[in-house]
Amino acid sequence: MVDVDVLERNLQRMTSSAQARGLALRPHVKTHKCLEIARRQVDLGAAGLTVATISEAEVFAAAGFEDLFIAYPVWASGRRARRLRALADEVFLRVGVDSVDGAETLGKALAGGRVSVLVEVDSGHHRSGVQPEAAGTVAAAAEQAGLTVDGAFTFPGHAYGPGRPAQAARDEALGLQSAAGALSGAGFPDSVRSGGSTPTAELSDASTLTEIRPGVYSFNDAQQVELGSCSWSDVALTAAATVVSRSGHRVVLDGGSKLLGADQPVWATGAGRLPDYPDARIVALAEHHATVVLSSDSSVPALGQVVRIAPNHVCAAVNLADEIVVIARGEPVDHWVIAARGTNT
């Protein structure tokens, strides 16, 4: 369920923060996968949407969103090639690329279709992305393959650890600066420099970046609270679970990993949190059950009582449900379909 007032406040806060710094905001919709929320983000002034996969792009394109960035290096062979061509005919499509081979495959796949690319550079997260100094080589290959090179992007995912966001934001700026230099040297000046994640969004270097792509900020989650990115009052999405077993200060709730997802970074205090019992810890998570230990001076919820759980990673939790119950001032007022649930391909 989503508290619509908290959601609205989260959307407005990020919009204002980006505007005040002259940064374009291109929210990542993999978090909510929900047309209603994406519409509100665009109405508030988002520059476009960021998506994770071709199938996620297809859902948002079919709903009328016209400016989409697939923020990963897509390998454009076989059916993927045909789908990218169809998307490029329909919307303004931008795609990530991080290798000469990938750029050539993408260029062949699109066969003159109008697609622009951003070169992904690795600013310290060490997942995908070329070294920033190599951005020019990939960009030249992309241009050679018939693609339009718009600039570079990075994901400072190494911000996900207590005390790490500030350094990750500095790494992000350095990586994009270096990439912009490499692009300029290869004949691509005035490029887009896109970064951002929720933990670094407020820390992004506005003199280097032109765009940020946070996703989680719309809902927030236990992980963001534990990272210090937000407080409990900023968590818009929670799951409702019932106490089904109880013994002393230990209760079992009927919500588990098939409701919340199983994400648990090593630094997390547990497998999710209970916003109404901030001292409680989820010590075990089975498919349909969370085992919770309450502090010795806490009240213990009764058998049958409904308790709110904030998942560790809200993007994973949303992708497990078919719809969101919209709550306004404590009452359910609407249902939103999670239109892009399960769009992995």
Q: Output 98 or 171, the one with its CB closest to its own copies.
A: 98
Q: Output 23 or 142, the one with its CB closest to its own copies.
A: 142
Q: How far is the CB of 321 from its own copies (least distance, A)?
A: 7
Q: How far is the CB of 97 from its own copies (least distance, A)?
A: 10
Q: Are 121 and 135 in contact (CB under 8 A)?
A: yes
Task: Enumerate binding residues for its own copies (CB under 8 A).
Answer: 30, 52-53, 72-75, 77, 98-99, 101-102, 105, 126-129, 157, 242-246, 252, 254-255, 257-259, 261-264, 284, 286-289, 291, 303-304, 313, 315-316, 319-322, 342, 344
Going by their DSSP bridges, the two strands 192-195 and 148-153 should be labelled as: parallel
Encoded tokens for 300: 């213990």
Q: How far is the CB of 264 from its own copies (least distance, A)?
A: 8
Q: What distance in Å separates the CA atoms of residue 20 and residue 1, rounded to the nearest whole number? A: 31
Q: Output 165 or 301, the one with its CB closest to its own copies.
A: 301
Q: How far is the CB of 158 from its own copies (least distance, A)?
A: 11
Q: Output 11 or 260, the one with its CB closest to its own copies.
A: 260
Q: Are 175 and 122 in contact (CB under 8 A)?
A: yes
Q: How far is the CB of 94 from its own copies (least distance, A)?
A: 17
Instruction: Write out the H or E segment, with its range, that includes residue 161.
Output: none
Amino acid at 317: A
Q: Output 65 or 72, the one with its CB closest to its own copies.
A: 72
Q: Output 154 or 264, the one with its CB closest to its own copies.
A: 264
Least Cα distance to 181 among 250, 141, 134 occurs for: 134
Q: How far is the CB of 267 from its own copies (least distance, A)?
A: 15
Q: 148 burial class (0-12, 13-18, 19+ CB within 10 angstroms)? A: exposed
Q: Output 85 or 289, the one with its CB closest to its own copies.
A: 289
Q: Output 78 or 330, the one with its CB closest to its own copies.
A: 78
Q: What distance in Å separates the CA atoms of residue 151 and residue 173, rounded to the nearest whole number? A: 14
Q: How far is the CB of 292 from its own copies (least distance, A)?
A: 11
DSSP-based three-state secondary structure for 55 = helix
Q: How far is the CB of 56 from its own copies (least distance, A)?
A: 9
Instruction: Write out the H or E segment, with its range, that includes residue 323.
Output: strand 323-328
Helix intervals (H) in 111-203: 135-144, 165-185
Radius of gyration of the chain (CA): 21
Q: What distance in Å separates the CA atoms of residue 150 and residue 342, rounded to the nearest whole number? A: 30
Encoded tokens for 200: 């670094």
DSSP-based three-state secondary structure for 274 = coil
